[in-house]
């Protein structure tokens, strides 16, 4: 790839999108595989089964919190660097990268300390007390996963920074290396050494350490941005601008945690009132199943977010350079691509739910597990096309520097609708109400997103300067 930053202003939009978005998609998919691979192997271990699945679902939001902090730093830095280079301010770009390294290290350490101190309260918050076995497995998995949080935060934060420096393939390969290690070690620790939840967690942490190590190597040999020791010293103005640009990424992840907390607790509450799942031996099934559906959704959203986030350096540079027509063309291509991803995902979820749940150990479970899983896939994901378009719009606005609009849409989707419907609908529909909360949220968010998308097109067609981007 051409190292000259003018490449982003001159190369064909389709070519740039492939070169930047594809590696980003693969990076995020591979990153998502950490937890998903754990759950697949856990579910297919007869001595863990749906209890282990439920425990994985309980702990998953804690990794999302860490990811939220990481992407706020990393995506914010990525957008800041691109805008700065587009405006011919390489020294500010370097300072942002250095400050992001410092912030990610401190954040990882603080999160680890908080998790270890309040571990039982956190597990209970996310529904881990549904029964004794689930709580025991959750504590074991949680402890070992927590020890890897500093490496996870650093690796995930540096991934978009490496992309912004012009090396999307290296960013992809560093994440891929960690995931491959996890995939190799998971079956070894779970099936051969029978280390259970502890083994799954340790395999994950070792992979995260490898990714973080590769990120350190890259930072010592950057291409476009040059980092000095002085850049590592916190700069209030740089941190403010970086985090402002990354706040949408943070909120989209952290608000998902709030939604998961609401969903898990509604599952625990209304599952206990259900004729079948109110029985002690089946109590963990709804939580395990919804966790599986969320993992499929995570795969889809990793593709969607990867395509959009991969465009951040292109959008940021061209916005900084005032090339609005190129930004508009990229927006159109992105929305079309995201709609296709959503349509294909919808077809898979509606037509092949049985095949999907078999991947997660359905053969070892009761008929109640299978029946609820099929229903969950078909209801929970029925509006996934809208979810894909919504997410693309949020991230594209962030890349344009429109943090306020992006943040507003993300907050409305995840907090107002996501949490609100998860708490409200079960009061009318019982356990099924939890499943209805997702499509209801996506439909209403789409109405708002389409209005913002139309407004963005009008502004990009306006020959005058677009107001609103955060100053880089």
DSSP label of 469: P
Short-list 257, 287, 252, 255, CA closest to 269: 287
Please check the confidence at residue 4 and state whether its pLDDT lies above 60.
Answer: no
* Residue spans of alpha helices (H) in 165-284: 168-187, 196-219, 236-272
Arithmetic mean of pLDDT, 252-262: 80
Alpha-carbon gap, residue 264 to 274, rounded angstroms: 15
Mean per-residue pLDDT of the chain: 89
SS3 content of the chain, % helix, strand, coil (to 5): 85, 0, 15
CA-to-CA separations, 249 to 37, 139, 163, 392, 417, in angstroms, rounded: 24, 28, 16, 11, 18
Q: Which two tokens stand for residue 445?
A: 């968010």
Alpha-carbon gap, residue 116 to 277, rounded angstroms: 31
Question: In the prediction, which pLDDT does 363 show?
Answer: 66
Question: In the prediction, which pLDDT does 70 show?
Answer: 94
pLDDT over 70, % of the chain: 96
Count Cα atoms within 13 angstroms, Cβ side, for 205. 18
End-to-end alpha-carbon separation of the chain, Å?
A: 25
Please check the confidence at residue 232 and state whether its pLDDT lies above 70.
Answer: yes
Indicate the pTM of the whole model.
Answer: 0.79
DSSP string, 302-318: HHHHHHHHHTHHHHHHH
pLDDT over 90, % of the chain: 55
Residues 332-382: pLDDT tens digits? 999 999 999 999 999 999 999 999 988 887 667 888 999 999 999 999 999
Please check the confidence at residue 55 and state whether its pLDDT lies above 70.
Answer: yes
Arithmetic mean of pLDDT, 223-248: 91
Sign (positive or negative) of CA dihedral 107, 113, 116, 122: negative
CA-to-CA separations, 292 to 285, 381, 469, in angstroms, rounded: 11, 12, 38
Please check the confidence at residue 472 and state whether its pLDDT lies above 50.
Answer: no
Residues 377-421: pLDDT tens digits? 999 999 999 999 998 898 888 778 777 788 788 889 888 999 999
Alpha-carbon gap, residue 179 to 183, rounded angstroms: 6
Residues 99-132: pLDDT tens digits? 999 999 999 999 999 999 999 999 998 888 888 9
């Amino acid at each position: 790839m051409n190292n000259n930053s003018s490449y982003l202003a001159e190369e064909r939009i389709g070519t740039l999108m492939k070169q930047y978005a594809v590696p980003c998609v693969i990076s995020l998919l591979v990153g998502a595989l950490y937890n998903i691979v754990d759950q697949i192997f856990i579910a297919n271990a007869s001595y863990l089964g749906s209890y282990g699945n439920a425990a994985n679902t309980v702990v998953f939001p804690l990794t999302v919190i860490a990811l939220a902090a990481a992407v706020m730093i990393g995506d914010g830095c990525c957008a800041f660097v691109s805008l700065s280079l587009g405006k011919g301010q390489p020294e500010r770009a370097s300072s942002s990268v250095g400050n992001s390294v410092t912030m990610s290290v401190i954040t990882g350490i603080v999160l680890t300390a908080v998790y270890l101190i309040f571990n039982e309260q956190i597990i209970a918050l996310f529904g881990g007390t549904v029964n004794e076995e689930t709580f025991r497995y959750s504590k074991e998995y949680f402890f070992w996963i927590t020890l890897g949080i500093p490496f996870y935060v650093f690796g995930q934060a540096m991934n978009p920074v490496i992309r912004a420096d012009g090396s999307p393939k290296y960013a992809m390969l560093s994440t891929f290396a960690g995931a491959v290690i996890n995939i190799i070690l998971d079956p070894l620790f779970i099936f051969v050494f029978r280390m259970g939840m502890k083994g799954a967690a340790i395999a994950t942490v070792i992979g995260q350490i490898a990714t973080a190590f590769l990120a350190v190597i890259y930072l010592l040999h950057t291409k476009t941005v040059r980092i000095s020791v002085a850049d590592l010293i916190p700069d209030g103005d740089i941190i403010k601008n970086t985090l402002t640009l990354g706040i949408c990424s943070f909120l989209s992840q952290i608000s998902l945690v709030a939604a998961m907390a609401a969903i898990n607790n509604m599952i625990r509450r209304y599952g206990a009132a259900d004729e079948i799942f109110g029985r002690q031996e089946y109590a963990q099934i709804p939580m395990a199943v919804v966790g599986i559906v969320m993992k499929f959704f995570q795969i889809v959203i990793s593709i969607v977010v990867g395509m959009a986030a991969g465009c951040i350096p292109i959008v940021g540079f061209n916005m900084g350079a005032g090339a609005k027509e190129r930004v508009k063309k990229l927006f159109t291509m992105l929305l079309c691509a995201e709609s296709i991803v959503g349509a294909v995902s919808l077809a898979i979820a509606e037509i092949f739910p049985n095949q999907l749940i078999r991947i997660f150990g359905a053969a070892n479970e009761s008929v109640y597990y299978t029946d609820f899983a099929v229903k969950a896939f078909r209801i929970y994901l029925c509006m996934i096309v809208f979810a894909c378009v919504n997410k693309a719009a949020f991230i594209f606005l962030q890349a344009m520097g429109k943090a306020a609009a992006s943040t507003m849409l993300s907050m409305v989707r995840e907090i107002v609708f996501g949490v609100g419907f998860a708490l409200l609908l079960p009061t009318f529909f019982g356990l099924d109400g939890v499943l209805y909360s997702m499509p209801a949220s996506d439909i209403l968010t789409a109405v708002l997103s389409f209005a913002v998308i139309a407004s963005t097109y009008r502004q990009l067609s306006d020959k005058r300067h677009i107001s609103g981007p955060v100053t880089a």
